[in-house]
Structure 1
Amino acid sequence: GSSDRSVLTTIADLTENDGAYDWVVPVSYRVVPGQCVRVSDADDAGVFGLSCEITVGDVLLAPDAPAQPSPANDADDVPLELKLNWSDAARATSYDVYFGTSNPAPLAGNTVSSNWPLTKLSYGTTYYWSVVATNGAGSTPGPIWSFTTLPDKTEPGPPEPQIELPDTPGAPTPADGSGDVSVESDLYWEIAVGATSYDVYFGTDNPPPLMGNTNASQWTLATLSYSTTYYWNVVSKNSAGTAASPIWSFTTAPPPLVAPDEPSGPNPPDGAGDQPLDSWLDWDDAARAESYDVYFGTTDPPPFVGNTVFSDWTPATLQYNTTYYWSVTAGNSVGQTPGPTWSFTTQAATAGDMVFIPAGEFQMGDVFGEGTSAELPVHTVYVDGFYMDVCEVTNQQYATALNWALVQGGLISVSGGVVYQAGGGHPYCHTTSSWSISRITWDGSKFGAVAGKENHPMAAVSWYGAAAYCNWRSAMEGLAGCYDLSTWECDFDAAGYRLPTEAEWEKAARGGAAGHRYPWSDQDTVQQARANYWSTASFPYDSNPASGDSPIWGVGPEPYTSPVGFFTGALQLRTDWNWPGATGTYQTGNGVNGYGLCDMAGNVWEWVNDWYHSAYYEISPHDNPRGPESGTWRSMRGGSWDDSAYGCRVANRGKNEPDDPDIDDGFRCVRK
């Protein structure tokens, strides 16, 4: 009944059985753990005596059915000696085992374990078996299983011997980690016991790729590369499996040291023309070269200029329209291999091109003591950096500027073929209408340059005509002019063009080299192949073979000017410059100086900004001297086609009246 002891129900009368009372609770009572059962005794008269109460504990259930038979149900080819096995059945305390050739099988026995050993069975026989799990609450039978034994009544013979894995390959040749290995090497290893063949892996990758299979303990290689690390390993094989060696490596020897290959692949290309002045030299790396000797210059063969471990070289400042020769010799500890001599030619100087003249000091004056007192004393001068025209201003440049000034109005006028400052001011230049040997034409409406003389320097121009051109050129380029055309004072701080000071001109003419007579620094003599001047035997430094005007230029009327930028050391075509009656070629000398300036000796005198005074050097300031405050003449420098070797010296000082547009007077411009 209930766990409440006051509410109890009589559910059964028990009779003594050998001094004990047994009672199985019917399922209908649904006795569950926690319920209470009272048991009392009574006599024949029905009088109750002693009693006790029993609290129901856990209910004992019958075991689960056995499962998971081994051999599996319906199994075939079962060996004759085996045990029957099954999974433990929950709550089972023992098992009744049934086994035999009939179905159902007879009881074979009882066991507390989940297996049953069998005696030797018969071949090709089907056996049936089952297991009943039991405990105090009852028993639970499992299903009937069966299996069939092996059909072959012959006893199996002894097992075949087991094949073991092969040994691991070892003792590699070349040895692991070795260096300086010959490029003609092959691979070897120690025979692996039990191996029937070997897979060989080899290459420059780690791990290496499969090369192939061999029965021998070696592998033949093709010729290897020098100074290269190779990886390899070997896998021994047989029917039982494989055994792989570790990955080994070796490094081949460097190539045998021999002289380097010949340099090749020049840049600029051999024979190239029109090369910029900022060109540098480079070439392909020569195999095995450790360094290179570089030869470079305007002569063939060129002189040695330096050594480098790189395959390029930046030469000193190049000059316009100049042919350069160069070669490279590759070297190493074994020897040297010279390359061929290459050449290239730089671009021609174009009117209007400028180069930068760096700031610095220089010795100004006649260091040879062969000039006039006006060139003395030699004194140290400093000038700021500036830009200077590479070439003298040409006839075509000046004619273009005249036409621009004409269109602007109020800048120029023409009278009698002479070009003047507007309003009847200073004369600027002649035209062919006022002087037949002028190179500027005037047809009453526009200006031009005489055909064939477009690229010759402007001549027959006054100092005022030169200064005015500087202002016109500045205005055409949108720059502030330097000259006040009423006072002709120069604003040196303006951004536009102007004439150089004497000090600027001489610093530029010397080309960065001190103590020389002419703009070039390789010699202190002059020849007509190098400059346009009038030769005479009067001066020992005039080494020209003949006297007089240059035989090239002494054709037709004066002035005997040459094209600007002509003397560069290049082989010039006469027809390129339209010389009257001239054909063929002319080999020039190199008259370009260290800054890349052309015609700083001869061709035409060049107006400079300074007033002239013969004693100015005695009072000249150290920094940026600009000449006297006033004077009668303006200074000129450089000599001309009509001057001797003496007049073309860089220290020589010339002069002329600023209103005089003489036939051998020209100019070039500078900028800050």
Structure 2
Amino acid sequence: MMMKRILAIATCVLMGISVNGAAIEQVHADVAVSSKDGAPMVVIPAGPFFMGVPKWARDGGLDEYPNHEVELDAFAIDTYEVTNGLYLEFIRSTGHRTPSHPTDSSKNLWQGGLMPESIASLPVVNVDWFDADTYCRWAGKRLPSEAEWEKAARGTDDRRFPWGDVEPTHKHLNFNQSWQGEKTLVPVGIYEKGKSPYGVYDMAGNVWEWVADWYDATYYSRSPSRNPQGPSTGTRRVIRSSGWQVETPQVRIFTRVASDPLDRNHSTGFRCAATLPTPTP
């Protein structure tokens, strides 16, 4: 049955908090974001942040340099990755294809086009960029830009991980796993110690996430300083975060990976973002 259009409320309070000694401003206001999926969202405040490899780090990939300041307008982003349960409602509403691995049925979580109840709270995988984009548009939202994704993950203090600079453990995220079917993934939102300064969950581990941008290894050297949207054209899209199979060295906020937009695999999912309504005078 088609879900009724509802208002997903992103709730936050204007406040200043301190993380690792650095003040991070959070804007918390009741903002109505028109959507069909009703997924909870977090408002990310307008303002600058530093994107790319932290200035003090020396282990970044060439495509993660230079560290540069970016100014973003306020936006909202899903608190959690899109789950199989939400994706099922999308399929029922639109008739869209079910998530499936194109070559290896052992990588499928959906069985014969049906969603087992046991995977409802797990992040959806085996979706390509177009599946993710279509879902977000159906929900009245969009994929986040690469810059939006990174700000939501790191805040404004140039940290290495969503939770700070403490090395990752299994108290922070789901990582360093081998494929064991649905047991490999965990329900979204269970890692309280791993959430970002803005309260966004699973920005590291569990699954990689599609973002809107085309990939360009040298984009950071010439990207605009305000609301960058990525290159205008390309052949591969960017995925961010890190998947369940990733080991410690790649569990970093600034890790960038290029992927064929038609690729469907068992370690990539997504979350949506939304442009906030323009305030009325």
TM-score, normalised to structure 1, is 0.35
Q: Determine the structure 1 residue equivalent to 2:33.
A: none
Alignment of 1:233-272 (within 5 A): none
Distance 1:611 1:505, change over 3 A: same
The structural deviation recorded for 1:508 is: 0.7
Q: Which has the larger radius of gyration?
A: 1
Q: Determine the structure 1 residue equivalent to 2:188.
A: 564
Contact persistence 1:317–1:594 (CA under 8 A): no
Contact persistence 1:360–1:385 (CA under 8 A): yes
> Which of the residues 383, 386, 393 maps onto 2:75?
386
Q: Distance in 1 between matches of 2:156 and 2:72?
A: 15
Q: CA RMSD in A?
A: 2.8
Q: Determine the structure 1 residue equivalent to 2:135.
A: 469
Q: Distance in 1 between matches of 2:118 and 2:102?
A: 15
Q: Determine the structure 1 residue equivalent to 2:173.
A: 531
Q: Distance in 1 between matches of 2:44 and 2:107?
A: 34
Q: Distance in 1 between matches of 2:247 and 2:27?
A: 29
Deviations 1:380-437 (A, max 9, x none): 111111000000000111111011112xxxxx4xxxxxx3xxxxxxxx8317997243
Q: Determine the structure 1 residue equivalent to 2:44.
A: 357
Q: Distance in 1 between matches of 2:73 and 2:217?
A: 24
Matched-pair identity in % = 36
Q: Distance in 1 between matches of 2:241 and 2:201?
A: 11
> Which of the residues 251, 268, 278 maps onto 1:665?
268
Distance 1:670 1:609, change over 3 A: same
Q: Secondary structure of the residue that 1:440 maps to in structure 2? A: coil
Q: Distance in 1 between matches of 2:70 and 2:239?
A: 19
Contact persistence 2:40–2:79 (CA under 8 A): yes
Q: Secondary structure of the residue that 1:617 maps to in structure 2? A: helix
Q: Secondary structure of the residue that 2:245 maps to in structure 1? A: coil
Amino acid in structure 1 at the alignment position of 2:108: S
Q: Secondary structure of the residue that 1:565 maps to in structure 2? A: coil
| Matching of residue 628 in structure 1 with residue 231 in structure 2 | yes
> Which of the residues 496, 514, 525 maps onto 2:157?
514
Structure with more of its chain in strand, by fraction: 1
Contact persistence 1:517–1:525 (CA under 8 A): no
| Matching of residue 502 in structure 1 with residue 146 in structure 2 | yes
Deviations 1:255-311 (A, max 9, x none): xxxxxxxxxxxxxxxxxxxxxx879xxxxxxxxxxxxxxxxxxxxxxxxxxxxxxxx
Q: Distance in 1 between matches of 2:265 and 2:103?
A: 15
Q: Determine the structure 1 residue equivalent to 2:110.
A: 440
Alignment of 1:181-200 (within 5 A): none
Distance 1:432 1:627, change over 3 A: closer
Amino acid in structure 2 at the alignment position of 1:401: F
Q: Determine the structure 1 residue equivalent to 2:34.
A: none
Structure with more of its chain in helix, by fraction: 2
Q: Determine the structure 2 residue equivalent to 1:493.
A: none
The structural deviation recorded for 1:514 is: 1.1
Contact persistence 1:467–1:498 (CA under 8 A): yes
Contact persistence 2:50–2:70 (CA under 8 A): yes
Distance 1:354 1:591, change over 3 A: same
Q: Determine the structure 1 residue equivalent to 2:252.
A: 649
The structural deviation recorded for 1:441 is: 3.8
Q: Determine the structure 2 residue equivalent to 1:202.
A: none
Distance 1:649 1:390, change over 3 A: same
Q: Distance in 2 between matches of 1:432 and 1:662?
A: 8
Q: Distance in 2 between matches of 1:432 and 1:633?
A: 18
Distance 1:509 1:402, change over 3 A: same
Contact persistence 2:119–2:182 (CA under 8 A): no
Larger relative contact order (CA 8 Å, sep ≥ 6): 2
Contact persistence 1:459–1:663 (CA under 8 A): yes
Q: Distance in 2 between matches of 1:527 and 1:403?
A: 38
Q: Distance in 2 between matches of 1:401 and 1:278?
A: 27
Q: Distance in 2 between matches of 1:559 and 1:606?
A: 19
Q: Distance in 1 between matches of 2:148 and 2:99?
A: 25
TM-score, normalised to structure 2, is 0.80
Q: Distance in 1 between matches of 2:66 and 2:274?
A: 28
Q: Determine the structure 2 residue equivalent to 1:162.
A: none
Deviations 1:564-604 (A, max 9, x none): 00111xxxxxxxxxxxxxxxxxxxxx111211100001110
Mind listing any 5+ residue stretches in structure 2 that lack a counterpart? Answer: 1-10, 14-25, 29-36, 276-281
Contact persistence 1:603–1:640 (CA under 8 A): yes
Q: Distance in 2 between matches of 1:403 and 1:433?
A: 25
